[in-house]
Amino acid sequence: MTDIKVFSERVIDNLEKVIVGKRQSVELIVIGLLCQGHVLIEDVPGVGKTMLARSLARSLDCVFNRIQFTPDMLPSDVTGVSIYNQQKNKFEFRPGPVIGQIILADEINRATPKTQAALLEAMEERQVTVDGVTHPLPKPFMVLATQNPIEYEGTFPLPEAQLDRFLLRLRLGYPGMADEIRVMDDQQLQHPLETLKPVVKLKEIQKAIDGVKRIYISPAIKKYIVELTTRTRQSADVYLGASPRGSLSLARAGQARAALLGRGFVLPDDIKALAVSVLAHRMIVSPAARMRDLSSDRIVHEVILATPVPGGAFSFDIERKISK
């Protein structure tokens, strides 16, 4: 797992040349990359959401496309369209910006639900269908979507089916005073993004993605993950809990975090560290809980505290795995 750790550190170090003081958020982005999952970056304007996505694209040797969502966009503006070629006497497919490898869906909640839905097939099945013809997407394929909070005027909440297709949701938050001063210094003469270079090749990305899948998850950890997601469905404060896709995503994210830290097996700490980012955005809080200003993040924290952590049997299983 050393190769994956070295790979991750190279990407993280490169991202931190642009994104200052947000190590945890940068690590989550790399975990999303290793899982081949999509990431929703949700925060107020001006904290670096778009810059984080662009920095990742520059750090990788991949095809990068950006979609700037607006209320007047059509689904064909995302997926592409078939145009009749009079010279060849046939229709030709003109691919849309979603056909790429690293896709920045900027301000995704400014588009109408119909246009947002154009991403569903691409995100889940890694293909787009236009006029009955299916077009596969290249590998790797990752959507980085930025979103402003829905309280802001002119936005549309993402449908639950689309939120469930995001592996992770993260928030950057405002930088500390020292970090904000450093950002001002770094950008005084030239933006650091302009000098950012790729640090990994396409074959290295695919090798790391394949390596993450081989990280060991013990039966006790699998049971722990399912118990967490089940408790989100049983909570009286939740109208809709995390889906089975949430369990799968939490397991895969745990594998990626273990590999990022140089381990060949998943620990309960990996699951606890990622549970909020993986599960909270998949839940719908009940109206009564919203009246008490209770967030899905808080509910997941409470579920973590209430769920027993795997004990002796887990430790024995890991010791046996290491000794082999």
Q: With a cut of 70, which residues of the chain have pLDDT below it?
A: 1-2, 150-154, 312-324
DSSP 217: -
Q: Check for a shared fold between 1-213 and 215-324.
A: no
Distance (Å, rounded) from C-alpha 224 to C-alpha 243?
Answer: 15
CA dihedral of 311, 301, 13, 211, whole degrees rounded to 10:
50
Q: What's the chain's average pLDDT?
A: 86
Q: What is residue 318's predicted lDDT score, i.e. its pLDDT?
A: 59
Structure tokens belonging to residue 52: 């984080």
HSE toward the beta carbon, residue 166, CA cutoff 13 A: 29
CATH code given to domain 215-324: 1.10.8.80
Q: Write down how long the chain is.
A: 324
Residues 6 or more apart whose Cβ sits within 8 Å of residue 149: 42, 43, 44, 155
Distance (Å, rounded) from C-alpha 18 to C-alpha 55?
Answer: 7
Provide the residue ranges of all domains of the chain, joining segments of one domain with +: 1-213, 215-324
Q: pLDDT (tens digit, 9 = 90+) per residue, 162-199?
A: 888 899 999 888 888 888 888 888 888 888 888 888 89
**CB contact at 8 A, 225 and 246:** no
Measured between its terminal Cα atoms, the distance across the chain in Å is 16
DSSP symbols for 111-174: S-HHHHGGGHHHHHHSEEEETTEEEEPPSS-EEEEEE--TTSTT--PPPHHHHTTEEEEE---P
Count CB-CB contacts under 10 A for residue 94: 12
Is the domain defined by 1-213 classed in CATH 1.10.1060.10? no
Distance (Å, rounded) from C-alpha 165 to C-alpha 112?
Answer: 18
Q: How many helices (H) and strands (E) does the chain have?
A: 15, 11
DSSP 192: G
Query: What is the model's pTM?
Result: 0.88
Distance (Å, rounded) from C-alpha 304 to C-alpha 225?
Answer: 10
Q: What is residue 9's predicted lDDT score, i.e. its pLDDT?
A: 92
Distance (Å, rounded) from C-alpha 245 to C-alpha 143?
Answer: 17
